[in-house]
Structure 1
Amino acid sequence: MKHSWRADLIAGAVVAVLLIPQSLAYAMLAGLPPQVGLYASLLPLLAYAALGSSPVLGLGPVAVLALMIAQALSGLPAGVTPEAGALVLAAEIGALMALAALLRLDALSSLLSVPALRGFENGATLMIAASQLPVLLGSAAAGFTLPDLARTAMTGGWGLSSTVWGAVALALLLMSRRMGLPLLARLAPLLLLLGAMALSAFTPAAQGVAQVGALPTLALPLGLPSLDRALWLQLLPSAALVALMAFVSSFAVSESLAQRRGEKLLPAAELRGLAAANLVAAVSGGMPVAGSFSRSILLHEAGSRTRWTLVFVAAFMALAMLLLAGPLAHLPKPVLAATIVVAVLGGFTLRHYAEAWRYARAEGLLMAAVSTTVLLWSAGAALALGVVGSIALLIQRTAQPHVARLGRVPGTQHYRNVERYAVECQPEVVGLRIDESLVFTNARGLVDAVLARVQEHRERVGAPARVLLLMAPVNHIDVSGLTALQELRAALAAEGLRLELSEVKGPVLDRLRAVGWLEAQDVSLYLSHHEGMQAGEHALRPSLADMDAPGQL
């Protein structure tokens, strides 16, 4: 226990160093005062530590969510401040996550496929970097899409002093990363901010450069968010998208690290923890929070053992609030923008696009389309496209069930695809393998797929008397799938063929027996496919497979 506390304390100190500049920067990115990022890094961490399940999820403000928050708050009604809107957004996100946890909807993490998630994150990364260019250059241009930035850039100039500050900050941060000293790279953003604040406060070097400005007293503004019904309704669609992205991205990070550490992650607990964190942010002056990949990796590498690490992170953040209240007023905004650009671009890569394109072009196109939508339209539209595209590709892949014709590998009891192996087939029985669960998305294609394989067998091997379906890959049969099986039995009976099943999984068999389906349809059942094939075995004929070496099943 003593070593665990020591490890958690050290990990908390390391991550707090990174979280301080990120909290300030991501609040600014979301169009919020810097102190809001600090508030979001205090009590929300304690709430997750109490209810979450991952000891290494680096909770707090996140760059991708900051972009979505900024877009959500861009059309607030007159008289509503961004801070008030952020509190309502955090409350709605927390409430939606809590409802999902109550209804056990943690499977929502599957709504966004990996290509869609990576496409969104890469697109948001580029857009975040692009949105900081005007700040680095001292330009009045602004916007959350490339067309908006280009349009406003035509009417605004740039400032030499701001450009110099931004360029120097970028150079120092990049240099710290390339020196090969991990500790220096982690400390560099904080050291840069401290140095820039000191230089700006005690020298005239920052004259003419936009600064963060005087902050209010950094005391937690505890209280309920606005209860304006119209405001809640206006932000609800954006809150749903941000909540989905926050949960999916956070769960992906924590699950990946849990597998690496050999730990068990509880999806329902993750939902509860994230819900509590956002609800607490809504009543403590913060902004919506989620798990950060960079901070989570750092927690893992720093040796975090338990969720007490987040408690220590919050304690160090509280100390930072007390120490930084005055100096933050002198922080040049170009320096803060530089820390954002370097932080987000550090995780950007084109490799994922190339890999997805080579492996599955449709998913590669989805990834590119989601990224493009973030850049040209909006983060919300891109996330919606990612969800719809992921579901559409799933339906497209499962719309036609894959049915393989099987033959026996000579001298064995193993049966493989005749198109991939040199196997032997029996004339009087067609051995087939159903490679999908039979559900409403593919049920209509079952009869045609099986009859096509039967005709192929008839032409190449001989006239069969029965069709034996190997059902081992079938994990589920819904009512549509059951109806398709009945239609298949009738279609085969019309051709004088008998339908038989082998190796039906227990849960599937339980459902069939519960309704007496096998008896009612007069369908034989075999424990093994080999047993079913031998039930009417005659002379074996080799298949026409033109592949002698084993391949994929």
Structure 2
Amino acid sequence: MTSTWRSDLMAGAVVAVLLVPQSLAYAMLAGLPPQAGLYASLLPLLAYAVFGSSPVLGLGPAAVLALMITQALAGLPPGVTPEAGALVLAAEVGALLGLAALLRLDALSSLLSVPALRGFESGATLMIAAGQLPVLLGSTASGSTLPTLAQSALHGGWQPVSAAWGGVAIMLLMASRRGGRQLARLAPLALLVAAMAVSAFTPLAGGVAQVGALPALSLPLAWPLWDAALWRQLLPSAALIGLMTFVTSLAVSESLAQRRGEKLLPAAELRGLAAANMVAGVSGGMPVAGSFSRSILLHEAGARSRWALVFVAAFMALALLLLAGPLAHLPKPVLAATIVVAVLGGFTARHYVEAWRYARAEGLLMVAVTAAVLLWSVGAALAMGVVGSVALLIRRTAQPHVARVGRVPGTQHYRNVERYAVECQPDVVGLRIDESLVFTNARGLVDAVLERVREHRVLLGEPQRVLLLMGPVNHIDMSGLVALQELRAALAAEGIRLEFSEVKGPVLDRLRAVGWLERQDVSLYLSHHEGVQAGAHALRPSQADHDAPGQL
């Protein structure tokens, strides 16, 4: 027990070192006061520790979420500050995630395929880096997409002193990455401390924008601004941020749970994220999510329980008490440099190359989502990712794969005739159905089977039976059942019998429940080899029911 507490305490201290500069940077990236990021790293962590399930999910402000928050808060009604809008946004994200947990909608995480998610994250990474260039250069340009940023940059100007601060900071951070992982982790905080000291005690930061004075540690516990019109305006953005929060956080926690041999509860993750965001909405914070870099750090630092997050929050509170004054002298170009180096460190073009080589349609989806983030908006990109993922799924399953199979000589194994040298009998067309038969592909079943029958007829002669190897079929819905019935009728019109082999138990139970095999006079075999060898002595359904076990 003592060793667990010691491990969690050390892990909490290590992650807090990384979280201090990230909290400041991501709040600034979202267009919010720096303290919003710090407040989002206190009580929300405690809320997740109570309701979540992962001991190593590094919760807090996140780069991608910060970009989404920036776009969500654009065009707020007059008199509504970004801070007030961020609190409403966090409360709405928490409420939506809580509703999803109540309705057990943890399957929502599957709405974004990996290519869509990677395309979104890569696009957000590039946009975040581009968005920090004006801060690095001391420019007044701004924009949440490349076109708006470029248009603003034409009139923004730049300051050589700010560019020098930002350039030196980037070079130092890049150099620290060559000194090993431990140095790279400590470098951002060390750089911020050094920059604050130089700015406070020398004239070198004259004319460079600084963070400014932070308020004393006093959590502003209060309900978010209640304005029905504002809540309605931010609701669509909150839904997209909530989806992204859950998908990315679950992906991080699941990957680490597998490494650690732990069981993760997606429903508990929903509850934990919902609680954390609702608490952020009433404690002066901003929407929060899991961070891969912080989660990996928690894991490698030896965190064993969610007490590590409690210690992270405690160290963050201590940092607020000790650093509130010095942080006022922190040059913004240095803070922007930590953002640029951090986010670009996770960018790689390898994912695009792999996706293009493996499946070009998925590679195109990844590129399209990235382009939408850069040229349109994060909301449109996220919607495109969801729609594109579903569309690719429907496209893949719209035509069932039906392979003509034959016996590997000297064995009882049956393989695709297009891939193996196999033996086929003239009187029987052996086919393997490689999909579940559902409404998305049912309409193509009859044509696919009849095409294979025509191929067999040309090569081997007139068949008497079509034997479907049903082993890969995990489910048959009503549309699939009707398609099988139409297939049986189409084959009967040509004088060919329809037979099944190796039907899985749950599928067979459903067929037997409605007496489908008997009514359609479809023969059933325990193995495909048995069906091929049976010839004219095919078992009728009643005999098959007697011989075959309940679960095949």
TM bin, normalised by shorter chain, reads over 0.9
Q: Is the CA contact 1:404–1:434 (under 8 Å) kept in the aligned structure 2? A: yes
2:284 aligned partner? 285
Q: Is the CA contact 1:35–1:218 (under 8 Å) kept in the aligned structure 2? A: no
**TM-fit CA distance, 1:218:** 2.5
Trace 1:59-98 onto structure 2 (pairs within 5 A).
59-98=59-98
1:211 aligned partner? 210
The 4+ residue runs of structure 1 with deviation greater than 3 A are none
The yes-or-no answer on 1:225 pairing with 2:224 is yes
Q: Is the CA contact 1:61–1:287 (under 8 Å) kept in the aligned structure 2? A: yes
1:147 aligned partner? 147
Most deviating of 524-533 and 184-193: 524-533
2:18 aligned partner? 18
Q: Is the CA contact 1:48–1:273 (under 8 Å) kept in the aligned structure 2? A: yes
Gaps of 5+ in 1: 539-553
Q: Is the CA contact 2:446–2:483 (under 8 Å) kept in the aligned structure 1? A: yes
Letter of the aligned partner of 2:400 in structure 1?
P
1:263 aligned partner? 262
SS in 2 for 1:433: strand
2:408 aligned partner? 409
Q: Is the CA contact 1:197–1:331 (under 8 Å) kept in the aligned structure 2? A: yes
Letter of the aligned partner of 1:117 in structure 2?
L
Deviation per CA, 1:64-90: give whole Å up to 9, x if none: 010000000011111111111111111
1:533 aligned partner? 532
1:544 aligned partner? none
Q: Is the CA contact 1:251–1:267 (under 8 Å) kept in the aligned structure 2? A: yes
1:118 aligned partner? 118
1:6 aligned partner? 6
Q: Is the CA contact 1:131–1:149 (under 8 Å) kept in the aligned structure 2? A: yes
1:168 aligned partner? 168
Cα distance in structure 2, aligned partners of 1:507 and 1:85: 51
2:369 aligned partner? 370
Q: Is the CA contact 2:216–2:321 (under 8 Å) kept in the aligned structure 1? A: no
Gaps of 5+ in 2: 538-552
Cα distance in structure 2, aligned partners of 1:389 and 1:172: 41
Letter of the aligned partner of 1:149 in structure 2?
L
2:31 aligned partner? 31
The yes-or-no answer on 1:130 pairing with 2:122 is no
SS in 2 for 1:424: coil
2:472 aligned partner? 473
Deviation per CA, 1:185-228: give whole Å up to 9, x if none: 11111111111112111222211000111222221111111121
Trace 1:484-499 onto structure 2 (pairs within 5 A).
484-499=483-498
1:190 aligned partner? 189
**TM-fit CA distance, 1:171:** 1.1
SS in 1 for 2:403: strand
SS in 1 for 2:238: helix
The yes-or-no answer on 1:386 pairing with 2:385 is yes
Letter of the aligned partner of 2:12 in structure 1?
G
Letter of the aligned partner of 1:235 in structure 2?
L
**TM-fit CA distance, 1:462:** 2.0
What's the C-alpha RMSD, in Å, of the aligned pairs? 1.1
Change (3 A) 1:282 1:426: same
Cα distance in structure 2, aligned partners of 1:232 and 1:12: 35
Q: Is the CA contact 1:426–1:537 (under 8 Å) kept in the aligned structure 2? A: no
Letter of the aligned partner of 2:475 in structure 1?
H
Q: Is the CA contact 2:97–2:242 (under 8 Å) kept in the aligned structure 1? A: yes
Cα distance in structure 2, aligned partners of 1:519 and 1:88: 61
Cα distance in structure 2, aligned partners of 1:90 and 1:361: 37
1:315 aligned partner? 314
SS in 1 for 2:400: coil
**TM-fit CA distance, 1:537:** 7.5
TM-score of the pair, normalised by structure 1: 0.96
Cα distance in structure 2, aligned partners of 1:312 and 1:495: 75
Trace 1:228-239 onto structure 2 (pairs within 5 A).
228-239=227-238
Cα distance in structure 1, aligned partners of 2:343 and 2:479: 47
1:551 aligned partner? none
Cα distance in structure 2, aligned partners of 1:216 and 1:305: 34
1:543 aligned partner? none
The yes-or-no answer on 1:500 pairing with 2:510 is no
Letter of the aligned partner of 1:127 in structure 2?
M
Letter of the aligned partner of 2:107 in structure 1?
A
SS in 2 for 1:305: coil
Cα distance in structure 2, aligned partners of 1:507 and 1:271: 31
2:105 aligned partner? 105
SS in 2 for 1:407: strand
1:347 aligned partner? 346
Letter of the aligned partner of 1:173 in structure 2?
L
